[in-house]
Amino acid sequence: MQRFFIKILAGWLILSSFVITLLNFNNEIGRARLFMAWGLILIWVVLGGYIMYKYKDTFKSIFEKIPGKWTIKFFLFCVVLALIEEAVATLLTNMAPVFGAQIGEAYITASTNFLQVVLHHSVIIFLPFFIAWVWLLKRYDFSANQAFWFFGITGTLAEAVSFGNIAEFGLWIFVYGLMIYLPTYCIPKDRGAKPVRIWHYPLVIVAPIFFLLCLFVLASLWKGIGLPTIPNFGTDLINR
């Protein structure tokens, strides 16, 4: 059943991306951006997803051999995967001339600078989401497939609120879901988590939002008392 829904999602991803590409093919900027999106699909979703699924037991074995609490290892694993995804996306943004546009005209990240992207726009925002999932997985036995779908939906909602990209939900579910699928698969089953019930499902939406709001509050307090903030490493494209 899970494979069936994944195939449906993949089908929608290909179909929607193909249609959007056709509709924007005569627009140089739009076409360049879509080529970047196709690059992300091929590298992160197809290649990355294949490696994660094909070698998930190998990754699990390595995960188990690394010393430390599973909660910390899970969190760091999620961060590493998010950094890899953003590295791919930033690379594609920097390849704008290859796709027929100038740097800054077409992009899929907020900056051409990787550190600016992850420390000001993307991974820094994902951190409370990952912390929320540590909290959830300590208490409830969500499967890797459930984590994939729920975190993918969380990411889709974030994209929809920020940029209105709801039509590309197939892409966002894969992009975000793959950040947490493999780490969830690797954590121990005998961690004392309770079986998941349907009334636990709202928590997967509420908990990440709550932890994100906590981050915003802490950031405001930090800035309010004059403590050093993260410096800029590059120019933001989205504010140009």
Per residue in 46-61, pLDDT tens? 999 999 999 999 999 9
Q: Is the pLDDT of residue 180 over 80?
A: yes
Structure tokens at 65: 């051999």
Q: List Cα–Cα distances, 93 to 71, 72, 98, 106, 211, in angstroms.
A: 33, 31, 10, 7, 30
The answer for residues whose C-beta is within 8 angstroms of residue 79's C-beta and 6 or more apart is 123, 126, 127, 130
Structural domain includes residue 28: yes
185 in Cβ contact with 144 (< 8 Å): yes
Structural domain includes residue 216: yes
Q: Write down the pLDDT at residue 226.
A: 63
Per residue in 112-130, pLDDT tens? 999 999 998 899 999 999 9
Q: What is the DSSP letter of 47?
A: I
What does the alpha-carbon distance between residue 189 and residue 157 come to, in Å, rounded to a whole number?
Answer: 29
Domain total in the chain: 1
Q: What count of other Cβ atoms lies within 10 Å of the Cβ of residue 53?
A: 14
Structural domain includes residue 231: no
Structural domain includes residue 233: no
DSSP per-residue codes, 172-194:
HHHHHHHHHHHHHHHS-TTS-PB
Side-chain-side CA neighbours of residue 194 (13 Å)? 8
SS3 state of residue 197: coil
Structural domain includes residue 200: yes
Return the higher-pLDDT residue of 152 and 233: 152
Buried-exposed string 176-205: b where 16+ CB fall within 10 A, e elsewhere: bbbbbbbbbbbbeeeeebeebeeebeebbe
Per residue in 192-209, pLDDT tens? 889 999 989 988 988 988
Structural domain includes residue 108: yes
Q: What count of other Cβ atoms lies within 10 Å of the Cβ of residue 38?
A: 16
Structural domain includes residue 10: yes
Supply the range of the domain harboring residue 197.
Answer: 2-224
Structural domain includes residue 234: no
